Every structure is written in C-alpha cells, then in structure tokens.
Structure 1
Amino acid sequence: MGYDGPPSSEQHLRRIAWIEQVDGAIVPLASDYADAIVVPPHRHSRSQLLYAVTGIITVITETGRWMVPPDHALWVPAGMEHSVRPHGRVSMRSIYVSPDAVTLPAICRVVAVTELMHGLIVEAVKLPRRVPPGSRAALIMALVAEELPLLPERPLGLPLPAEPRLAALCQSFLSNPSPHATIDHWAERLAMSRRTFTRVFRRETGLGLAAWRQQACLFAALPRLAAGEAVTTVALDLGYDSVAAFTTMFKRALGRPPSRYLRDG
C-alpha cells in the first residue's frame, strides 16, 4: 500500500497529500531511506507509528528528540510537526491512524515492537489499498488497532526545554555530551542556585539532569554503534571512565549490553 523509496521534496509533498486523502482508519506505508536523507518538518491529520525495521532514526519535534532503533517504533500524535533523520540505510514501515481509531495519549513516545506487531506491520504493507469488510486484510488492520495501545513504552525520548538559556545549554551539551555534567556546574553557568536549577530543569523537561544526561549520551552512542564503531571507542569518546561504566549505563537504560543489543536488533 502506498509507494517505496527515499522521497525528494516533491515526492514528500505528494506522500503527505496521499496520506491526507486516502480512505481507511489504518493506512500502512513502506519507506526506504539512504544515509543523509532528511525528511523535512511536516505534519498530518493522522497519528503515525514509525517503525524502524532496520537501521536507526531520530525524530525531532519542537518539544524533544526521539531515538528509534531496530525493534522499536515511535508514536507521533496527529497534528504534531516532526522531521525524520535516518542514520545509515533505514527500512521504515509506518502505520497512519485516524484519531478516532485508537485511543492513545497525545504525546510522542517510543515503544517496543512485539513479535506479533512486527508480523502484523510486515503483512499490512503488502495489502491492497481497498480492504473488503470481513476479509483477512480487514482482520489484520483491526488487530493492528487493537495491539497499538498495548506496546510497551521505552525510555528513548529526550525532551528539550523551552526556556531560552536552558535550551541553549542543552543544545550545546548535545554537540559534546559527557557523563560528567553536574547540577552544580550547570546551575553556576545559569547563575542559579542548585535548588532553583533542579526545579526549573525538571519543570522544563520532566526529567532530572542525571536521567536527561544519560539519554543524551545514548542518543550520541547508538548511531555510532550501529555504524560499526567499537564499543570501547564510543565509550571513551563520550567521556566514560571505562567501557564497563558505559556498558552498565547502556544495560540499565535498554536492558541489554551494547554488543548484545545491536546483535539482537
């Protein structure tokens, strides 16, 4: 259903128009992207589940960044402007959902894709555009809608603050992330007390600095690891004192050490 291939600007606009006009509560679409292809900011009236079958993508909105590695997907609510940046060659499958078809929070969130949902998505993109009621295709679409709210959420979001000075500090950190950033140092740079900084940072991002810092380091590490760089090189470049310290952080966040995580993905 739909069409494949990395979109040019014109193709991208046609794709958005097609998504807006096509019938059906659930609309699957397959897309393949080469490295350095960036999908520009856009929005649509349907919610979208972006599923990276292979490769890693970063999705950027006004409120944050979300990393989507293999076996994961990102839920983007209807009407939210977002851009997509693939890392390496990416095979992506999207499920576009009418707002009244599924009840989910109107926020972006990364979810793990279960084996059942993987199979459903792979089958859904093969189906014809017109789905007769009661057919196998209709049952697949109905099951996709049933499974969407059940996908487990994963901590792969990186909210960005709106407060200008804090936003500038966070953007600077993203250019050179380090596990050693401290509340005291950041509070000093913003001429705030430790208590005020802690309160403002959590109000702006929903996270404490330590959790946000960990997410930023993961965002920097995952594309490099997926590209084949050695765990040791990535860990030391990010400023970790040892590979063991980096591996502990990675396993705590994603449930598996880097080598196993990438091998399984």
Structure 2
Amino acid sequence: MFRQDISRVGQYPGHVRNVSYECYDRVPRDVLPIGTDYEPGYLLDWHTHRRAQFLYSATGSMIAETEDGTWTVPSDRAVLIPAGTRHRIRMLEASTRSLYIEPSAVPWWPRVCTVVDVTPLLRELLLVAVDFGPDYDLAGRAGAVAQLLLFELAGLAPLPLHIGLPATPELGALCREYLAHPEPGVTNADWARRLALSERGLARRFHLELGMSPAAWRVRARLIAAVPLLRAHPIARVAGELGYASPAGFTAAFSRVFGLPPSALHGR
C-alpha cells in the first residue's frame, strides 16, 4: 500500500491522501475525508475504528469481512461500516475514498455493514472532499461540502451484496474456504464428511446459525463471488466459471437472490 510518511510532517498536509486515519481521528471535524490507493490484493487486516466509516471503491472492488459475514463492494459503490466494528478489507485493485464520521453526526447509521449505491452527486463531492486538509474551514466551502455529504449519505439505497457466516469455528472456516474457492461441484455430502456429521445434522446446524440450507448458502456464495468479476468479464464467461449452463440461467439465479440483474453491476 502506498502511504505518505507523516511522522516527519510538522503540520497537516494540504490534502489527505494515502495517510493513516488514526493520525487525524481526534481532529474536531464530524466528517474526515481520506483517499487511499492500494496494491492489487492488499489485505487491510482486522481492525476497528472509533468513527463510522463510509468506504467507497472509486476503482476496482473490495471485500469487507466481519466475524459474522462478508460484503462485496463493486467498483463505484460503497460500504457503510459501523463504529467499533471489527473488520478487514481485501482490496481488488481498489482506489478508495473514505469518510470517517463522528457517530453522533449519523445517529441513523446501520448497526451492521451495508453495501450501498452511490449517487453521481455524492461521487463528485467525494472527489472534492479528499483534497481538503483535515482542519478544513467549517464556515467556508469545505464545511458546506461536508454538510452536504451527510445529507447525501442519509438517502443512499442499500444493495443486498452480503452473505452471512456461521459463528461455529469449524463451520465458519469451511464457509470462508468456500468463499475463497467456490467450486460448483461441492455437495452436502462432501461437507458432512469433512465435519464428521450426517447430512441431516449439517443441514440442521446451517438452519440454526444462518436460517438457510447449506446448498442455498453455496449458491449465494458463488453469486457473491461473481460480483468482482462482472466489472471486467462478459456475463457468459462469469456464468461458465461458476458452473451455470447458460448466461440466462446465471442471470435468473442472480436476480432471484439479489433482486437486481448482474448487468446492473457490469459497469456504468
């Protein structure tokens, strides 16, 4: 990851890009904009923030993970991360724009991570805001932009691009492994053998922890895995890689699970 070495900086820089959020956490501003560029595949490992975070993927995609789920963030969308939530982020060629926000300024913030669409106005405001210094003038143009950002954030539409993870360690490890390598041919019998359970016992534990069957969970996991691919590859190729016989079958499954067609994430 490319970061400015701010340990040698005697005062705030004229803009906040590629710097550590923690250095500015206590600056008396409700909205703190930061822009960061990441190397492909960079893993921002487990951490928390005192502030709520709006994390926007200007380019590339991101995968946000908490202890109980993952959220896939396509290019040009964002994820809302609650204050104090332990999480990690995998950057897939992502350049990000973040807003770190005092919790008292956003009492409506969701209690769990939420992927959201980003309006054209919000996108332009973000591009402007990351060039502010952290001690920007509250009474001037920068302060007005910060207030407008808060108004825009409150009206964003959520996208259901998430999948739950079991709390039980052995089940959670199995599911995380599948998310990393979503093989279409895996069956309930395969998983039951690995966990030394009957297929009925496996299904019972999945329903208890996630409210769905293992097979339904794997379908959702494969479709979630498609999201980062849709930006760069034709739908037909993505469908084939994930085990679907035709693009139409993949499109129907994607639309049924997420409520929007894959074409909606194929680019803007």
TM-score where L is the length of structure 2? 0.80
Distance 1:152 1:229, change over 3 A: closer
The 5 Å alignment of 1:86-125 reads: 86-88=91-93, 90-103=94-107, 104-125=109-130
**Alpha-carbon deviation of 1:49?**
0.6
Structure 1 residues 10 and 159: alpha-carbon distance in aligned structure 2, compared to 1, 3 A threshold:
farther
Do residues 243 (structure 1) and 241 (structure 2) align? no
Cα deviation digits, residues 80-127 of structure 1 (max 9, x gap): 222221112x22100101111102132111111122322222222233
Aligned residue in 2 for 1:46: 51
Distance (whole Å) between structure 2 residues aligned to residue 192 and residue 9 of structure 1:
55
**Tell me, which stretches of 5 or more residues in structure 1 are unaligned?**
none
CA distance in 2, matches of 1:213, 1:9: 43
Q: TM-score, length-normalised on structure 1?
A: 0.81
| C-alpha distance in structure 2 between counterparts of 1:121 and 1:203, whole Å | 41
Alpha-carbon contact 1:178-1:213 (below 8 Å) kept: no
The offset of 1:243, in angstroms, is: 2.4
Cα shift at 1:77: 1.1
**Coordinate RMSD, CA, aligned:** 3.1
Larger deviation, residues 74-83 vs 129-138:
129-138
What CA distance in whole angstroms lies between the structure 1 residues aligned with 2:62 and 2:26? 26
Contact persistence 2:74–2:265 (CA under 8 A):
no
Match of 2:236 among 232, 235, 255: 232
Contact 1:248 1:257 in 2 (8 A): no
Pairing partner for 2:86 from 57, 78, 81 = 81
The answer for the alignment partner of 2:173 in structure 1 is 168
2:134 to 97, 109, 129: 129
Judged with a 3 Å threshold, the aligned counterparts in structure 2 of structure 1 residues 219 and 113 are, in CA distance, closer, same or farther, namely same
Q: Which residue of 2 aligns with 1:159?
A: 164
Map of 1:23 onto structure 2: 28
Number of corresponding residues: 256
CA positional deviation for 1:138: 1.6
- Tell me if the contact between 1:6 and 1:37 (Cα under 8 Å) persists in the aligned partners: no
Alignment of 1:176-215 (within 5 A): 176-178=181-183, 191-192=197-198, 194=200, 197-198=202-203, 200-205=205-210, 209=214, 212-215=217-220
Residues 9 and 157 of structure 1: CA distance in aligned 2, closer, same or farther (over 3 Å): farther
Question: What percentage of residue pairs aligned between the two structures are identical?
Answer: 36
Distance 1:33 1:105 in 2: 26
Which runs of 5 or more residues in structure 2 are unaligned? 8-17
SS at match of 2:218: helix
